[in-house]
Amino acid sequence: MVVMKRFPILLSLLIGAFLFIGADGCSSDPNVEGAKLDLRNQDYDRALQNLETALEKDPANSEALELKGRVLSEKAFAIMDQAEHIDLIHQMVDAFTAAKNIDPLLDETVTNSMRFAYASEFTRGIQAFNRGRNDDSEFVVAARYFHTAGDIFPDSSGAFVNEAYAYMNANQPEEAIAPFEMALETGDTEPDTYRFLAGLYQTYDRVDDGIALLEDAASQFPENADVQTELLNAYQASGQIDKALESYKTAVEREPDNKLFRFNYGTLLTQIEDYPAAVAQLEKAIELDPDYSNAHYNLGAAYINMAVDVNDQVRSLDEALSAERGDLSRDQISEREATINALVDERRAIFGSAIAPLETAKSLFESAGEDATGVCMALYQSYVQTDELDKARSVEECAGYSDTGE
């Protein structure tokens, strides 16, 4: 479960609001005065009727509008039906906004009331989120409360972030995109917000948007390994190999003791067949963490791929020699055969270099209870190519070859 973050400080908001609520003066409009009495008696409908009468007489009555906002706020938080509650909150926001637009002197008063409503709405969101631990449907309820808190204070990134987390916990990740976007627009500076949103972009076929967002995050948080790693992975997944290589190189230079950067860089170098550079990076990753099973495995795989390339050269030269033997002198044939034999020895030596890291990987995988089939298949190939047939037979079952006749 994703942990909600950046809850606002509720205590100071509540205190400010309570101090404000007790400060009612006298009005020249009898309907406004009647509404004040109705509010004290918690007769919200009658209070609203009185205020509508006052506003029919004077639509610019800022005092009536401000009081209407308070009545709607109290009524909203006395109602448990979420849809009706949210509708009342939106009416409250409209009334408060109209009041302070007409009379700027009400700005502080209205802000205090809005803070109280925001804090109360956020609390409802927290409570629903906590109920979600036992009932997933409550996460959607929480998301709606957090969204409504954002409607009260649209510049509050915390409300939108928590709305997004609630949707993700509700297994509605696509619904989390808009609130994550709003969080960033309203000033959120948490790396995780960038990471989660970028991941959602990539999931929903907005790869370029995801990369652009991660590039922005990487420039803001150059020391954040998670952001940097996700950007590198995004480059790699989108086929932007040149960018990925340059970014991995920069990451390794910036954090030479980061085993993950070394591992990823080495793995990518293997993919572009720069095997010597790949081996150097993977060996460094293992030096940093001798129990890094995937690094041992990929180091062995790099050697095998290198050996296969040499084998391709052997095959090409052998085929050419067979086709051209009749046109060659004995010395030319001997020279070509020597070249082929040297490459065969090189191939064997490279396969031999793969064995030690693969044996270590097998041990580490098995100790961790992980599937070692791929490692055993690579080991089987290496043992066969180095004529260690007894060892090859010892990993047949692990490699899945014992019942296939291979």
Sorted by sequence, the CB contacts under 8 Å of residue 109 that are 6+ apart come out as 20, 66
Residues 240 and 386 in one domain: no
Please indicate, yes or no, if residue 372 is contained in any of the structural domains: yes
- Any domain includes 405: no
Same-domain check for residues 109 and 250: no
- Residue 150 exposed, middle or buried by CB count within 10 Å (0-12, 13-18, 19+): buried
Tell me: pLDDT of 66 over 50.
yes
Domain assignment present for 210: yes
Same domain, 150 and 220: no
Asked if 368 and 223 sit in the same domain, the reply is no
**pLDDT value of position 233:** 84
The 10 Å CB-count burial string (b at 16+, else e) for 155-185 is ebbbbbbbbbbbbbbbeebebbbebbbbbbe
Indicate the residue among 201, 233, 255 that finishes a domain.
255
Classify burial at 93, counting beta carbons within 10 Å of its beta carbon; exposed 0-12, middle 13-18, buried 19 or more. Answer: buried
Please indicate, yes or no, whether residues 78 and 24 belong to a single structural domain of this protein.
Answer: yes
- The whole-angstrom separation of Cα 322 and Cα 364 is 45
Domain CATH for 330: 1.25.40
- For residues 17 and 119, membership in a common domain is answered with yes
Assess contact for 75 and 88: CB atoms under 8 A: yes
309 and 361 fall within a common domain: yes
The Cβ-side half-sphere exposure at 374, using a 13 Å CA radius, reads 12
Residue 405: which pLDDT band, with cuts at 50, 70 and 90? Answer: very low
Look-up: residue for tokens 């995801």? 210
Q: How many domains does the chain have?
A: 3
pLDDT at 260: 87
Same domain, 100 and 240: no
- Could you report the per-residue pLDDT of 13-38, keeping only the tens digit for each? 333 333 334 345 555 789 999 999 99
Q: Can you spell out the DSSP letters for 111-151?
A: HHHHHHHHHHHHHHHHHHHHHTTT-THHHHHHHHHHHHHHH
Answer with the one of 255, 279, 312 that is the final residue of a domain. 255
From CA 229, how far away is CA 214, in angstroms rounded?
10
Which residues lie closer than 8 Å to 219 by C-beta, 6 or more apart?
Answer: none
Structure tokens at 336: 């070509």
Q: Convert the pLDDT of each residue in 248-260 to its tens digit.
A: 898 899 889 999 8
The CATH number given to whatever domain includes residue 212 is 1.25.40.10
* Residue 80: inside a domain: yes
Give the domain range for residue 239.
189-255
Same domain, 17 and 154: yes
pLDDT digits 0-9 by tens, 308-366? 999 999 999 999 999 999 999 999 999 999 999 999 999 999 999 999 999 999 999 99
Q: Does a structural domain hold residue 182?
A: no
Confidence tier at 396 by pLDDT (50, 70, 90): very high
The answer as to whether 275 is a domain residue is no
* Domain C-terminal end among 225, 255, 285: 255
Could you identify the residue written with the tokens 């180091």? 299
**Same-domain check for residues 326 and 228:** no
pLDDT score for 264: 87
In a domain, 181, yes or no: no
pTM, entire model: 0.68
Angstrom CA distances, 218 to 158, 192, 224, 252, 406, stand at 22, 12, 8, 14, 48
Query: Helix or strand or coil: residue 6?
Result: coil
Instruction: Indicate the pLDDT class of residue 4, thresholds 50, 70 and 90.
Output: very low
Kindly report the length of the chain.
406
- Quick one: average pLDDT of 70-94? 98
C-alpha torsion angle, residues 145, 149, 155, 156 (rounded to 10): -80
Residue 382 lies in a domain: yes
Residue 259 CA from chain centroid, whole number = 21
Residues 5 and 80 in one domain: yes
Q: What is the pLDDT of residue 362?
A: 97
306 with 251, same domain: the answer is no
